[in-house]
Structure 1
Amino acid sequence: MQRMSPKKIFLLIAVLVAVVVAVQWFRGGGRTSAKTPAAPATVPIKVADAHRGDLDLTLKVIGRAEAYSTVNVQARVSGQLQALMFTPGGHVKQGETIIRIDPSLLQAQLDQALGNLAKDEAQLQNAQTILKRYEPLLGKGYVAQSDYDTYKANEGVYAASVKADKAAVELARTQLSYAQIQAPFDSIAGAPLVYPGAQVTGNDTDIVVLNQIRPIHITFSVPETGLAGIKSAMDRGAVPVSGTIPGTKEAPFQAQLDFINNAVDTTTSTIQLKARYENSDDKLTPGQFVEVVLPTTRLANVVTVPVVALQNSPLGSFVFVLNADNTVQQRIVTAGPSSGSQIVIEKGLNGNERVVTDGQLLLVDGAHVRIVTGNG
């Protein structure tokens, strides 16, 4: 192969340099002035205020809805079940008649008691009339004392019989009233346990179960270690309890703690609590799972920031603090307990700072930033 001479190599290099210079000339529009240095890029962030104040620590547990009260309805008299006057699974009002027992036998017993009363009242009236007639004759000696005493005793016997008959009438009337059973409170009726035509035995046969769900209880257990904080919260007033139904996106509903059991379960080291929820919208059904959040210990005069503001590094936890000139400072902090979306900062913040809550991944100490709102 023939080797290129040094002169040809030099010419080839010169041509290439000329081409590169021409390309740069055309791309730059023929300008030879120096470029102006670019301004520092700003990072979009979201911020939140650090707060100083009291914070209630919370405890999150799983509980179940429980009927405020439950009644197994039984007949107070024996007889044939005549009618069920409620809709299974439907609401019943307090005092509303929901069950009827065949009243025929009970009505007959009442009629018999009324007849006995009428008969004895007539005999009493007759004895009183005779006694009144013989009283003036006794003083004149026309009636023997023994006969008068007999009439007097008869009056007492008939008077006692009338009292007994009146009691029997009241008993029969009361028994007849038991043939109609009223709901003891506003509730929801379950499925019938017996049906019309069946023979029921007084104070023995269960007919239907009524559950009171307005209000309703939420029953849950907490570790005994949290009991002192809960009692302290109750000493300050009503303790709010927040509840949510797992698997739904509904907003939490508010209940109120109204029961602490009188003993700790030694097998689980937990204690049972109950919260009252009005349940006017029938949100909860007995047996349903509920996520419960309730306050335990109150921390006084602490600094808190949103949990999302806290970041971690090999040097420890830190937050980015917004400066007045729209730069950020990376500040090492000591984090404490958290409650919901807030976390306590034990050291590193005074409570009057603004901290970055979104955009930290693009930040370094001293970076320039701009605040955005919403999804911007």
Structure 2
Amino acid sequence: MRFIRFGLPALFLALTACDEPPAPEAPPTEVFVVTASEQPYQPGRTFTARMESRSDVNITAQVTGKLVAVHFREGDVVEAGAPLFDIDPAPYKAALSQAKAERDRARANLSEANSNLTRASKLIDKGYISDSEYDTLQSRKQEAQAAAKSAEAALESAQVDLSYTHIAASQAGRVARSVASVGDVVSPSFGTLTTLVGQGNMQAVFQIPERLLTEAATSPDQPELSEIEVGLVMPDGSTYPQTGNIVYVSNRVAINTGTVEVRAAMPNPNDLLRPGMFVQAQVRLKESIQGLMLPQAALQVDQQGTYVFAVNEQDTVIRLNLQTGERIGENVLVDDGLPAGTRVILRGIQKVRPGSVVTATAFKPATQAHEGSPDTQAAQDAKEGATP
């Protein structure tokens, strides 16, 4: 009786359970995909560069004297010919006056020597003077001519020295601070009084590895220098609005570094580029070409290399191993392993495995407030892009 009492309820529950319908299958996992497509880009490389000016002038004294005037303020932009320094001209004016007097005396001696030789030419024919006396007068004339030329040269030198007491800007540009002060005695050995940098003739100087030079020289698709442009990224991360051209490639490799110096001429209309500034030089083709790209967040890496999860025509997840190239903004160039038009999973990567059946929805970046703030969206993208 006890068996019947406890067995009947169990049998009833078992029969009831047999009548229940089976549990429904879980729906396919939803993933968000992007379609691999060719996009225009400019192939290039980035190098750390230093700005130099081809019109960086050191202003020095050409004569010795006391500095009596400084005509500029530190950092001024000056025009060509603008006065910069004045050295006391008094001793050079005196030297000029003396040189003029010496020239006048030399001219007078030359005139006298000419007159004496002219008279001697008449007397020697009549036998009033000897040949020896005539030769002496000829020598004196030649000596007077040489002395006159020497006096003229001394006068020119004195005039040049006097002109050196006034130092003017050799070009338009921005002047640095004055090393010397009024009252200092300056001379050619004093060194640089100040520097003057022209706004034009700026060059970005950078080094490229000798390996890249060899690859470029042997590549059948090597572009001409006229097809290449150079852009700059400024120290604050902003993009310089002007582009330049390569104007010089060194004819030798630096022994210590194994690199080759390259120079790119950069326009500088707003005086934004300064000598010594460090920038990033982006060497790239002027004309864009097409390349197959994917967002960086879609790429996964494991021991076998770089790969992506894609969705085939049967909505099944497959793995594709890739060979990637350079990074273009938020995208990566795909060199091999990915046919154009392939649907690649961008969001939901952690939820699937190869062979999983999924529901693929085209990924659209969140643009509205209710779709998530930028910080939330970035965090989610980073999470979804993690390697499983």
TM-score (norm 2): 0.67
The 8 Å contact of residues 192 and 207 in structure 1, kept in 2 or not, is answered as yes
Superposition map of 1:55-134 within 5 A: 57-134=43-120
**Aligned: 1:211 with 2:202:** no
The 8 Å contact of residues 247 and 265 in structure 2, kept in 1 or not, is answered as yes
Q: Shift of the alpha carbon at 1:291?
A: 2.3
Q: Shift of the alpha carbon at 1:170?
A: 1.6
The 8 Å contact of residues 31 and 345 in structure 2, kept in 1 or not, is answered as no
Number of residue pairs matched by the alignment: 326
The 8 Å contact of residues 64 and 289 in structure 1, kept in 2 or not, is answered as yes
> Where does residue 273 of structure 2 map in the other structure?
284
> Where does residue 224 of structure 2 map in the other structure?
236
**Aligned: 1:337 with 2:330:** no
Corresponding residue SS for 1:214: coil
> Where does residue 367 of structure 1 map in the other structure?
360
Q: Shift of the alpha carbon at 1:317?
A: 1.0
CA distance in structure 2 between the partners assigned to 1:165 and 1:230 by the alignment? 63
Specify the code of the residue in structure 2 equivalent to 1:255.
Answer: G
**Aligned: 1:294 with 2:290:** no
Indicate the structure with greater strand content.
Answer: 1
Residues 201-239 of structure 1: per-residue CA shift (max 9 Å, x gap): 234432112334523232333444333345568752233
Q: Kindly tell me: are residues 272 and 134 of structure 1, through their superposed partners in 2, closer, same or farther at Cα, counting changes over 3 Å?
A: closer
> Where does residue 338 of structure 2 map in the other structure?
348
Q: Shift of the alpha carbon at 1:199?
A: 0.7
Q: Kindly tell me: are residues 153 and 254 of structure 1, through their superposed partners in 2, closer, same or farther at Cα, counting changes over 3 Å?
A: closer
The 8 Å contact of residues 207 and 261 in structure 2, kept in 1 or not, is answered as yes
Corresponding residue SS for 2:94: helix
Residues 111-170 of structure 1: per-residue CA shift (max 9 Å, x gap): 211111111212222332333334334333455555544433332222221111111112
Determine which structure has more spread, i.e. the larger CA radius of gyration. Answer: 1
Question: Alignment identity in percent?
Answer: 23
Q: Kindly tell me: are residues 186 and 44 of structure 1, through their superposed partners in 2, closer, same or farther at Cα, counting changes over 3 Å?
A: farther
The 8 Å contact of residues 51 and 305 in structure 1, kept in 2 or not, is answered as yes
CA distance in structure 2 between the partners assigned to 1:115 and 1:143 by the alignment? 34
Q: Kindly tell me: are residues 123 and 305 of structure 1, through their superposed partners in 2, closer, same or farther at Cα, counting changes over 3 Å?
A: same
Could you tell me which of 155, 158, 162 is aligned with 1:169? 155
> Where does residue 308 of structure 2 map in the other structure?
317
Superposition map of 1:194-209 within 5 A: 194-209=180-195
The 8 Å contact of residues 97 and 183 in structure 1, kept in 2 or not, is answered as yes
Superposition map of 1:36-51 within 5 A: 50-51=37-38
CA distance in structure 1 between the partners assigned to 2:68 and 2:199 by the alignment? 28
Q: Kindly tell me: are residues 90 and 234 of structure 1, through their superposed partners in 2, closer, same or farther at Cα, counting changes over 3 Å?
A: farther
CA distance in structure 1 between the partners assigned to 2:183 and 2:69 by the alignment? 8
> Where does residue 11 of structure 1 map in the other structure?
none
Q: Kindly tell me: are residues 242 and 44 of structure 1, through their superposed partners in 2, closer, same or farther at Cα, counting changes over 3 Å?
A: farther
Q: Kindly tell me: are residues 225 and 374 of structure 1, through their superposed partners in 2, closer, same or farther at Cα, counting changes over 3 Å?
A: farther
| CA RMSD, Structure 1 to Structure 2 (Å) | 4.2
Which ranges of structure 1 fall in alignment gaps of 5 or more residues?
1-39
Superposition map of 1:7-18 within 5 A: none
> Where does residue 26 of structure 1 map in the other structure?
none
Corresponding residue SS for 2:45: strand
Which ranges of structure 2 fall in alignment gaps of 5 or more residues?
1-26, 372-388
The 8 Å contact of residues 56 and 339 in structure 1, kept in 2 or not, is answered as no
Q: Kindly tell me: are residues 66 and 131 of structure 1, through their superposed partners in 2, closer, same or farther at Cα, counting changes over 3 Å?
A: closer
CA distance in structure 2 between the partners assigned to 1:84 and 1:355 by the alignment? 72
